[in-house]
Chains A and B, each alone.
Chain A
Amino acid sequence: MSQVELALFLESAVRLGIPLALAAMGETITERSGVINIGIEGSIIAGALGGSLGAIAFGGAGLGVAFGALTGLLVAFVFAVFAIGLGADQIITGTAVTIGGLGMTGALYQVVFGVNGMELSVPMLAPAAIPWLSDIPVIGSALFAQAPTAYFAYVMAPLAWYVLFKTAWGLELRATGEAPVAAEAAGVRVRAVRFSATLFGGAMAGIAGAHLALAHAGAFAENMSAGKGFIAIAVVALGRWNPIIVLFAALFFGGASALQFLLQALGFDLAYQIFLAFPYILTLAALAGWVGKSQAPAALALPWEPNR
């Protein structure tokens, strides 16, 4: 592989990894509070539609991303009301929210744009190369000539890590996810913490969706989230519930996906399904090999009823 080819491959890897990184980082915070929101798939697709509609309405992709974050947050709010407010089973609620999100965005899209869709008319979030950094050989253009949402992910990873592990608020959040009873006894408002962590996760998934539509594809299409929410949940485990490792895990998964497209394009004579399975097999191997004894928050997915 020449240096140019390697650079092109890495660019593709980062492009495929960024939406996963954004969604997985949000989900990391949500899961750290003891809530597993498998409805982020619904937030991603809602963010993709909201982002597209926002970008068209406001005539700019930047505001579109903000609008995408808001729609992702709203979907997570529905999840939070049932799963946290009413203490419903998180997996069932998350499934319902995902199915509802996919169906509702499809219906809304058809109402707004008719059966012919919006085609390729969304304002795009153009890549913005960072001077100097993007000139680094091989990795420079891959990491630093991306859409602004990618830089947002790079900044969010250490920031989320800092808040999670170095601040009082982060300690309360982790306590809520590890031992809600003790946290409550210490005066932490468990539900409020879980609620806000879930909304944050939804907003991040919304940004991931907006990134897919505005920075990557240049279009919204029904079902375009294509299971990325579920992959993001695997990425959270792969990243050991640590925002910085999660960023690298997402890029690793992006790299595996990019590699399988490249291998197919190079004409390796193997059933394509084997290539398609490649990122998942790598992830499984990594999960089994180095996550080892899982460090999931102890109270993950357990509904919480305040002690009255």
Chain B
Amino acid sequence: MKKKAMKIGNGYMSQLKLQPLAAALIWVTTACVGQGSDTPESDFRAALLTAGPVTDVGWYAGGYAGLMMIEDSMGASVSHQQTATPAEFDEAFIAYASSGYGIIFAHGNEYQDAAIRAGQEFPDVTIVVSGGGRVSPNVVPLIFRLEEGSYLAGVTAAYVTESKVVGMVGGVEIPPARGAFLAFEAGVHAVDPEIEVLQVYTGDWDDLAAAKEATVAQLSQGADVIIHNLDNASLAVFQAVREVVEEGRVAYAIGMNSDQNELAPEVVLGSVVIRIADAFHTTAQMWQEGNVGGAPIYANTEQGVIEFVINPMLRDRLSDEELERISSTKALIRAGEIDVPRVVFVEGEPEDH
């Protein structure tokens, strides 16, 4: 980052004067991204790359928890880096691959091309790309079947909606996000095909103001259940729903990526949970046994990695019969008897996998 800032400089005087500031910034940024990177002691080294902050109580937080799990239960030396721009992806891969990290978790679809490049350069290193779309002998996508949980969320939303309008607020329309929304819609329509499903993308995972107004726009169109696919900005979705509930309306939000029921227990009806940490841990174990490479790894409801967790505080908003039907739907998905729609994005992946 600092390097770039220096390069666009035009006068040597200004560059000279910037040096103390740049040095201070380098110190600050390395201090903030170097967490968990104590001097490596173990031969087993695992690294995590995220494109966003691990304080998001969701997607990135799950990845970080996975890394911690690998450190605690497998005795690995671990390191995490937050990369801000695609330009830094390659640098980060090279840094880890060339300093003895055997397995690198690149936690996001956006890393896939840089991962393939790094994989070619460092054939002994394994790179696991969450939601990745490209496969090579040492670069494997870790595919979370988020659709299965989203479908259950859709079924649940259809049971509680009174206005017969539900909404979805997304960040950027990447394939995993599109798949989750498609499945949510299918779940809603499996219960009642008449229910209207609204959709808004804000274009930013962290912009709370945009997410809040997108939610407000859907609530004002009559939606009374809102699901999100956001990182940090999900907090604003809950806040917007909370405000209309305080005004006396009945409305709910649905959490995503991790169990967000506790964040706003009076409005979050349930959460589509990816047990990212468990999936990372299992993947690391498979890797130690030499079983990772050449093919995508799938994490789904069958293994308990994807779940839909109903908020115990709002459980009474569903009748016993509805709760029963939600769990029987879950069982059918596990057994592969419900065809949950999804977006195929791994190259060469069969439609029916």
Contact = CB atoms under 8 A, between A and B. Distances in A.
A19 B209 contact: yes
Given A12-B217, A110-B32, A221-B235, A89 B21 contact: no
A168 interface: no
Interface residues of A, number: 56
A179 B232 CA distance: 45
Given A115-B64, A226-B209, A221 B200 contact: no
A91 B15 CA distance: 12
Contacts of A219: 208, 235-236, 239
Given A87-B17, A106-B32, A92 B8 contact: yes
A231 B217 CA distance: 22
B227 interface: no
Nearest to A109: B55
Interface residues of B, number: 65
Contact of A266 (B5, B24, B31, B221): B221
Contact of B200 (A5, A86, A265): A265
Contacts of A120: 235, 238-239, 242, 263-264
Nearest to B211: A217
28 contacts: A19-B209, A88-B17, A89-B9, A89-B10, A89-B11, A91-B8, A93-B14, A107-B28, A110-B53, A115-B55, A119-B262, A119-B263, A120-B263, A120-B264, A216-B208, A217-B236, A218-B235, A223-B206, A224-B207, A224-B233, A226-B209, A226-B210, A257-B210, A265-B214, A266-B221, A267-B199, A272-B173, A303-B14
Interface of A: 5, 8, 12, 15-16, 19, 78, 82, 86-89, 91-93, 95-96, 99-100, 102-104, 106-107, 109-110, 113, 115-117, 119-120, 212, 216-219, 221-224, 226-228, 257-258, 261-262, 264-267, 272-273, 276, 303
Given A89-B18, A217-B236, 15 more contacts: A8-B216, A12-B216, A93-B18, A99-B25, A100-B28, A110-B35, A110-B54, A115-B54, A116-B57, A217-B239, A218-B239, A218-B242, A221-B206, A265-B167, A265-B217
Interface of B: 1-2, 5-6, 8-11, 13-15, 17-18, 21-22, 24-25, 28-29, 31-32, 35, 52-57, 61, 64, 82, 84, 167, 173, 198-204, 206-210, 212-214, 216-218, 220-221, 223, 232-233, 235-236, 238-239, 242, 262-264
